Structure 1
Amino acid sequence: MVTPFAGTAIGVPLTSATTSWVRRFRPKPDAATRLVCFPHAGGSASYYLPVARGVPASVDVLAIQYPGRQDRRHEPGIDDIERLADLVTAELADWRDRPLALFGHSMGAMVGYEVARRLERDGTTPAALIASGRRAPSRHRETSVHRLDDHGLRAELARLSGTGSELLDDVDMLNMILPATRCDYRAVESYRHRPGPPLRSPVLALVGDQDTEVTVTEAEAWRDHTTGAFELRVFPGGHFYLNEHAATVLELITRRLT
């Protein structure tokens, strides 16, 4: 039985750093495909440790570590999705010897999308973009979570259920989490989609049917951002539906990549 997506940093070894940006928890040098995973707002690379454990030997998982969290907590965060995408794309230059697939949840879906655009611009078409828990880039909503005080930001994290309650109740941990989370929300809320050619890579959109952050219709609109194959899968649950459906999500990813 696959364990749920982690969601926390407690007890996760960080000695797997390949660069400051890339975590490779279970290196699979003979894998046919590399799956690049992008965290949600306030999240970290360790959220994807269960993915590295759960996929077969044919898939090598690279989890992206944004600045401002865990072992990068002393670095300033980056509050611009496009700037993040530029930096991540540069970091992936040495990993393009195998097909790259991209998986991102929430904010991570947006970073993954912008990385896909840059890869295709440079001549590398991703094997797939898997966009979870995020409306299509062209479907904008005006929100201002990053302007909330610490109490309000904590309440938002609790509402979405993406951060363990043990962390939200720990003052020291909360003080470590909130700056990166606020920075990430500023990046998400200031993002505006730039018109341009649609992707050529296939897109798989995943969404929870009770997600307050994205409707099924907004997830369906990812179809407009690719000329490749498109599939939408709807799960029972809210914004972090994938914590309860980890086994099914990993099965979908594996089937798509193998």
Structure 2
Amino acid sequence: MTGIRPGTAGDWLLIPAPQRGPAFQLFCFPHAGGDATAYTPLAHALAPLAEVRALRMPARGGRHLDPMPSSFDALVRTVAAEVRRYRGGRFGFYGQSLGALLAFEVARALPPGERPELVVVAASEPPQLWAGGIPEERDADSLLRHAGLGELIAAEPELRQLALAAVQRDLDLRRTYRYRSRPPVECDLYAVAGDADPMVGAAQLDGWAELTTGRFGRSIVPGGHLLATVAQPGPVELLASVIGRAPEPLVRELQCSTP
């Protein structure tokens, strides 16, 4: 896949590996403090099956001068409008950690009939459990460590401060989140976590099942808290199978694949 130049769609979407007439568009939502470029390896791994469209969050990277929306609800509304503007044909969502919560709420915010075919949520408890405050062990510094980024940026004080500031902005936004009980979405919903994730385990994924009337799958895959990063593509096999409309026996296998 060398030689493919990244593209953009508006201010909010990075297309790391543009595809000609993609059969499926996968909108990807980054973790707290994360940037759209984290999904570059995933984009190349899924091509040409799917075209990854990664969310470019404000106040970091190429959008460091753009203000963050004032609340989580405002962010959801803005992203939903961008998805409606740029989606075409079959599409789905993938989000990890805080990005999983955002992906699900954007799916709920879209009108019925315009929602994604599937939503894959990684490294995240279901939103019913996000109702309380943020635990102390999930401050900006500890999140960087749990995500495996602490040592990577320890020798770069300026980079570390930028990363901490981005995470803190996202945590401040997350504090404005309020879960609202609504009818389940009709999207297929797949919950996944890494087998070495220090923050989210298999049992915490079960609550996602009640949020959909579509198919539900639960899976544990090799990896830590962040599955897709600039260094690794993430759960490519799982994503490829569900994008390809996996048959029911495979879905049952995914549900039973936890220790």
Q: TM-score range by the shorter chain?
A: 0.7 to 0.9
Q: Quick one: structure 1 residues 248 and 157, their matched pair in 2 at CA, closer, same or farther if it must change by over 3 Å?
A: closer
Q: Does 1:53 align with 2:44?
A: yes
Shift of 1:65: 0.6
Look up the match of 1:231: 217
TM-score normalised per structure 1: 0.83
Structure 2 residues without counterparts, runs of 5 or longer: 245-259
TM-score normalised per structure 2: 0.83
How far, CA to CA, are the matches of 1:250 and 1:25 in structure 2? 16
Answer whether contact 1:38 1:109 (CA < 8 A) is retained: yes
Shift of 1:26: 0.9
**Aligned residue among 178, 186, 193 for 1:192:** 178
Residues paired across the two proteins, number? 241
**Aligned residue among 65, 69, 72 for 1:78:** 69
Amino acid at match of 1:135: E
How far, CA to CA, are the matches of 2:6 and 2:221 in structure 1? 34
Within-5 A mapping of 1:147-226: 153-158=140-145, 160-163=146-149, 165-226=151-212
Shift of 1:71: 0.8
Answer whether contact 1:135 1:221 (CA < 8 A) is retained: yes
**Aligned residue among 125, 128, 138 for 1:138:** 128
Q: Does 1:126 align with 2:116?
A: yes
How far, CA to CA, are the matches of 2:204 and 2:138 in structure 1? 24
Can you list the C-alpha shifts for 1:26-70, whole angstroms capped at 9, x where unaligned? 111311110000000010000000111100313111000110110
Look up the match of 1:43: 34
How far, CA to CA, are the matches of 2:32 and 2:187 in structure 1? 25
How far, CA to CA, are the matches of 2:172 and 2:202 in structure 1? 24
Answer whether contact 1:78 1:183 (CA < 8 A) is retained: no
Look up the match of 1:29: 20
Shift of 1:185: 1.2
Q: Does 1:65 align with 2:65?
A: no
Look up the match of 2:104: 113
Amino acid at match of 1:157: L
Q: Quick one: structure 1 residues 125 and 161, their matched pair in 2 at CA, closer, same or farther if it must change by over 3 Å?
A: closer
**Aligned residue among 221, 225, 242 for 1:256:** 242
Shift of 1:195: 0.8
How far, CA to CA, are the matches of 2:5 and 2:66 in structure 1? 16
CA RMSD of the aligned region, Å?
A: 2.8
What SS is found at the alignment partner of 2:191? strand
Can you list the C-alpha shifts for 1:213-257, whole angstroms capped at 9, x where unaligned? 3232221110010010000001345423556x9567101101111
Answer whether contact 1:79 1:186 (CA < 8 A) is retained: no
**Aligned residue among 89, 92, 115 for 2:83:** 92
Answer whether contact 1:201 1:228 (CA < 8 A) is retained: yes
Look up the match of 2:249: none
Q: Quick one: structure 1 residues 75 and 247, their matched pair in 2 at CA, closer, same or farther if it must change by over 3 Å?
A: closer
Question: Which stretch of structure 1 is more off in the superposition, 77-86 or 214-223?
Answer: 77-86
How far, CA to CA, are the matches of 1:34 and 1:15 in structure 2? 15
Answer whether contact 1:39 1:47 (CA < 8 A) is retained: yes
Look up the match of 2:254: none
Q: Quick one: structure 1 residues 145 and 17, their matched pair in 2 at CA, closer, same or farther if it must change by over 3 Å?
A: farther
**Aligned residue among 10, 17, 35 for 2:8:** 17
Structure 1 residues without counterparts, runs of 5 or longer: 3-12
How far, CA to CA, are the matches of 1:71 and 1:248 in structure 2? 23
- Identity among equivalent positions (%) equals 28
Answer whether contact 1:146 1:185 (CA < 8 A) is retained: no
Answer whether contact 2:95 2:103 (CA < 8 A) is retained: yes
